[in-house]
Amino acid sequence: MSNLMWLAIILAVLLGGAYVFRMVGQAATGNAPKFRDMGYGEAFGYVLGGALLVWAVYYYFQPQVAETGVPNAGVVFFRWAVQGFIIAAIAAFLFRLLGRTVGTAGSKKLFRSMPLTAAFGILVILIYTFVAIFAGAIAPYGQAEILGAANVMAGGDPALGGNPEYPLGTDQIGRDILSRLIYGAQNTVGIAFITTCLAFFIGGTLGFLASTLQGWLDQLLSRSVDVLMAIPSLIFALLLMTIASVWSVKLGIPLTIFMVLIIAVIDSTRVYRLARAVGLNIVVMDYIEAAKLRGEGLGYLVFKEILPNAMAPLLAEFGLRFCFVFLTIAALSFLGVGIQPPLADWGTMVRDLAPFINFAAFAPTAAVTPLLAAGAIALLTVAVNFVVDWMLHKTSGLKE
Amino acid sequence: MRSILKIVLQRLGLGLVTLFVVSIVIFVAVNSLPGDFAEAILGQGATPESVATIRRDLGLDQPLVVRYFDWLKGMLTFDLGTSFAQLNFANFGGAGSVTVAEQIAPRLSNTMFLATVTACIAVPLAVFLGILAALYRNTAFDKAANMFTLSSISSPEFFMAYVLILFLAVLNPVFPSLSNIFEGMPFGERLEKSMLPALTLTLVVTAHMMRMTRAAIINLLASPYIEMARLKGLSPMRVIVKHALPNALAPIINVVALNLAYLITGVVVVEVVFVYPGIGQLFVDSVKIRDIPVVQACCLIFAAAYILLNLTADILSIVSNPRLRHPK
């Protein structure tokens, strides 16, 4: 109850503060238009933002260790978050600066109009690609290598159950978590990428075919896609994975291959929709008519005439689709039916390491490992979304 | 009025047809399992005689079409059969096996409770924040909100869930991190225990709804009647709430319904994280032990809810938009 009381008091102070803020502003600036026309809500927003900023600075400089010797975990996490945010912003800024000075005239121009979020996204995607390709060279140990000690805490501090040889500790059967995180980039991102490509190949081809040929093929494909889209995709994927798990034992084919196929087919329905819609807009153009009159074949029409003109929306969709596929795979693995061990994978790692979160109050470093795996997934999808957001903004010409 | 009724009935019919086809897809998918259920139930202990017995008991010796209509009839009369796990239990002398319907019913109501709590928090919050973002567009608040919502849309549900557990359960014990609710629990306690899963879902859903609300309102701001209202000297808040919002209602209602449909999939992961005894948890558990009758039934329920909500979105957007109500 006292918490609610405090909340009410703080709110009242802020509301009063807003009133005072506007009045003082009007008096100090000689009734400048900015303060004269300021709504009460806007003034409240300024005061609230200011109060949050003051509180954040105050909280940041709280002692990291309480007097009793127990670490003040909240402060530790807050500092990490703030430092991470600042480092990310600086890295993105430097990267954009680099892009503006190095490279061809075209790429320089691209970087000049780029918002910081998009630069950050591109930087993150580049780093992930690099780590995924060279995982074998970067990782200190193998992904399935079982080392001497199990359940070594993260942080490398022997007093807290850590070991400097394994900076992020080891998991419940003694595999190095850092190495598995690095290999996870290769497995999770790689498999998601292959799946998305497959989904685009299936959905794109069928969509363009439907829009070019129309008639019964279009009807058949569109109605089947409607039905498939009526089942929530994660649910459908889980159902099909149940069946695939039996088949994979029977046929001796790894379950991961089934998963790639299943998710590719489910996601290709969404690609089909877009490809068909874009294709329908293109096939009515004059140059398609001209190509048809020239007697060009179906393959030429689809790949030489329609595809290049549908590239921009498809590329943006590729980014979004990749995120969806990536999240679906992570969710399936998290639920225990996705990428199978011994392959290292972020979704599985989150599930296995999740109990460590409960130690956060005593040893903040221990709680970090499950969040790192989940954060690795989140960071990539956020990065891709930032880039796609910027691309859509740029191609649509929206300035609002 | 007559035309609305006609359109609504048309959509309803279409939804029913879709549901029917979806049930066929699910049935065919499940029946493409290698071997058959009899072997799956018995597992290692399958002898030809016992397989034949179970096959006869479950009616597996019937042709596929007959079995499909039997299943469909069962679905319509809420007789969803008995789960394999329960059958096995009964085989080994366990007393009184529970039917799938009895297994699902309490869990479905738990999930409904969670979804309702989430909707009650998320929808007003999203619309309010969306209006604020549209009102103060292109300010620091709008940009921060844009970055935050984009991040929370794109992160996986379990990341949000664990971050919330870390801050609201472990570091500051405000809410319990395990939602072990049971029947007959007082409402307040139940609400408290399901608060963290509800907040997780809220975070995921609010972001999308808020962005759409903002976009729908901003889309209208260039219209002549908004300019007129502005020139009359109305305050920006009044322009948006009185003039823009009623016209933006159709897309907003649409996106709210679509997000509630999205909740159905999101709920699976979130329920597993918080060990919330809902239908998603049951579904995942049954998937893991390949308990086909339960998987089949859950899948159909999910699909039905999904179709129903999409249908609602469709109908509401027609009803709330006069231009769609009177098609030329």
Q: What is the pLDDT of residue B39?
A: 66
- Contact in structure between B278 and B110 (CB atoms under 8 Å): yes
**CB-nearest partner of B154 from A230, A323, A367:** A323
* DSSP character at residue A152: P
Q: Is the torsion defined by CA of A323, A329, A331, A334 positive or negative?
A: negative
Smallest CA–CA distance from A366 into chain B, residue? B166
Q: Is B308 on the interface with A (CB under 8 A)?
A: no
Q: What is the dihedral of CA A91, A92, A98, A101, to 10 degrees?
A: -140
Q: Residue range B257-275: average pLDDT?
A: 84
**How distant is the Cα of A361 from the closest Cα of chain B, in angstroms?**
6
Whether residue A131 contacts residue A185, with contact meaning beta carbons closer than 8 Å, is answered with: yes
3-class state of residue A154 by DSSP:
coil
Helix (H, G, I), strand (E, B) or coil at A176: strand
Q: Which residue of B has its CA nearest to A321?
A: B154
Residue A305 carries which side chain, given as an amino acid letter? E
Mean pLDDT of chain A, nearest integer: 84
Q: What is the largest CA-CA distance in chain B?
A: 86
User: Would you call A370 and B162 a contact, using CB atoms and an 8 Å cutoff?
Assistant: yes
Chain B residues with beta carbon closer than 8 angstroms to that of A355: none
Return the residue of A nearest to B149 by Cα: A382
Nearest CB to A239; choose among B135, B140, B299: B299
Contact B171 A336 (CB under 8 A): no
Query: What are the tens digits of pLDDT across the range A215-259?
Result: 888 888 888 888 888 888 888 898 888 888 888 878 888 888 889
Structural domain spans, chain B: 1-98+289-328, 108-278
Q: How far is B96 from chain A (nearest CA, A)?
A: 27
Q: From the centroid of its chain, how far is CA B271? A: 12
Query: Of A231, A381, A385, which is closest to B22 when you measure between CB atoms?
Result: A231
In the numeric block, which tokens belong to residue A290? Answer: 């001209």
What is residue A399's predicted lDDT score, i.e. its pLDDT? 44
Nearest CA in chain A to B300: A231
Give contacts of A241 with chain B, Cβ < 8 Å.
287
> Does the A177-396 domain belong in CATH 2.60.120.10?
no
Tell me the mean pLDDT in the region B118-131: 90
Q: Tell me the H-state helices in chain A.
A: 2-28, 33-36, 40-60, 73-101, 105-112, 116-133, 135-138, 177-184, 190-213, 215-229, 233-251, 255-283, 286-294, 298-300, 307-309, 311-335, 346-353, 368-396
User: What's the gap between Cα B255 and its chain centre?
Assistant: 14
Instruction: List the structure tokens of A103.
Output: 């490279």
Disruptive mutation site among A236, A239, A380 for chain B (greatest number of B CBs within 10 Å)? A239
Angle at B213 between CA A120 and CA A118, to 5 degrees: 10
Q: Which of B313, B207, B206 is closest to B250 using CA atoms?
A: B313
**Pairwise CB contact (< 8 Å): A385 & B26:** no
Could you tell me the two tokens for A359?
């130690």
CA proximity to B116, closest of B311, B263, B250: B263
Question: What angle separates helix B245-274 from helix B195-220, to the nearest 10 degrees?
Answer: 160
For A343, residues 6+ apart whose C-beta sits below 8 A from its C-beta are A143, A144, A183, A187, A256
Cross-chain residue pair A378–B156, CB shorter than 8 Å: yes
For B153, nearest residue in chain A (alpha carbons): A382
Confidence check: pLDDT of B320 > 80: no
Tell me how far CA of residue B121 lies from CA of A82, A241, B115, B116, B323, in angstroms.
28, 34, 10, 9, 31
Q: Is B9 on the interface with A (CB under 8 A)?
A: no
- Shortest CB distance from A232 goes to which of B25, B141, B302? B302
**A224 exposed, middle or buried (CB, 10 Å; 0-12, 13-18, 19+)?**
middle
CA A350 to chain centroid: 16
| pLDDT attached to residue A195 | 94
What is the pLDDT at residue A69? 66
pLDDT value of residue A107: 80
Q: Report the greatest alpha carbon distance in chain A.
A: 85
| Closest-CA residue of chain A to B287 | A242
- Chain A residues whose CB is inside 8 A of the B287 CB are 238-239, 241-242, 335, 337
Phi, psi of B237 (to 5 degrees): -65, -45
pLDDT at B149 over 50: yes
Three-point CA angle A293, A299, A301, nearest 5°? 40
State the Cα–Cα distance between residues A361 and B168, nearest whole angstrom.
Answer: 12
Q: Which positions 272-301 of B are in contact with A (Cβ < 8 Å)?
A: 272-273, 283-284, 287-288, 290, 292, 295, 298-299
Find, among B154, B161, B172, the residue nearest to B211 by Cα.
Answer: B154
On whether the CB atoms of residues B271 and B201 are closer than 8 A, the answer is: no
CATH T-level fold of B108-278: MetI-like fold (1.10.3720)
pLDDT the model gives residue A200: 93
Q: Where in chain A is the domain with CATH 1.10.3720.10?
A: 177-396
Q: Which residues contact A88 (CB under 8 A, 6 or more apart)?
A: A120
- Most A-contacting residue of B172, B287, B289 (CB-CB within 10 A), to test interface: B287
β-pair partners for B99: B82
Q: How far apart are CA A45 and CA B21, in angstroms?
A: 52
Partner A contacted by B14 (CB < 8 A): no
**Which residue from A minimizes the CA distance to B280?**
A235
Element spanning B11, H or E: helix B2-31
- Mean pLDDT, chain B, as a whole number? 80
| Mutate which: A6, A77, A242, vs B, most B CBs within 10 A | A242
Inform me whether the pLDDT recorded for B37 exceeds 60. yes
pLDDT bucket at B35, cuts 50 / 70 / 90:
low
Contact B136 A45 (CB under 8 A): yes
For residue B328, pLDDT over 80 is answered with no
Tokens standing for residue A130: 């690099």
The per-residue pLDDT for A400 is 41
Per the model's pLDDT, the better-predicted residue between A323 and B183 turns out to be: A323
Q: Do A337 and B288 touch (CB under 8 A)?
A: yes
8 A C-beta contact, residue B152 and residue B204? yes
d(CA A358, CA B154): 25
Distance from CA of B49 to the nearest CA of A (A): 23
Residue A163: strand, helix, or coil = strand
CA distance A35 to A47: 13
Would you call A217 helix, strand, or coil by DSSP? helix
User: CA-CA distance, B34 to B22, in Å (whole number)?
Assistant: 21
Q: Which two tokens stand for residue A328?
A: 């679906």
- Average pLDDT of the residues in B127-133: 89
Q: Which of A7, A37, A75, A231 to mutate to test the interface with B (most CBs of B within 10 A)?
A: A231
Residues 6+ apart with CB under 8 A from A23: none
Best mutation target, B14, B154, B307, to test chain A (most A CBs within 10 A): B154
CA distance A76 to A64: 6
Average pLDDT over every residue of A30-48: 80
Beta-bridged to residue A176, according to DSSP, are A170
Total CB pairs under 8 A between chain A and B: 164
Query: In whole angstroms, what is the distance from residue A82 CA to residue B142 CA?
Result: 20
Question: CA A209 to CA A379: how far, in whole Å?
Answer: 36
- Residue B21 host element (H or E): helix B2-31
Q: Distance between CA atoms of B297 and B101, rounded to whole angstroms?
A: 9
Per-residue pLDDT averaged across A43-69, rounded? 83
Mean pLDDT of A192-220: 90
Closest to A237 (Cα-Cα) out of B287, B38, B152:
B287
Give the residue, B81 or A357, on which the prediction is more confident.
Answer: A357
Packing angle of the helix pair A233-251, B245-274 (nearest 10 deg): 40
B140 touches chain A (CB under 8 A): yes
- Distance of alpha carbon A132 from alpha carbon B1, whole angstroms: 60
- Model confidence over A122-148: pLDDT tens digits? 999 999 999 988 888 887 777 777 777
**At residue A394, what is the residue type?**
K
Contact A235 B299 (CB under 8 A): yes
Distance CA B216, CA B236 (A): 16
User: Is some CB atom of chain A closer than 8 A to the CB atom of B27?
Assistant: no
pLDDT at position A193 is: 92
C-alpha B287/C-alpha A145 separation (Å) is: 30
CA dihedral sign, ordered A63, A64, A66, A69: negative
* B33: chain A residues, CB-CB within 8 Å: 243, 246-247
Which tens digit of pLDDT belongs to each residue from B167-180?
A: 888 777 778 877 77
Interface contact B303, partner A, CB < 8 A = yes
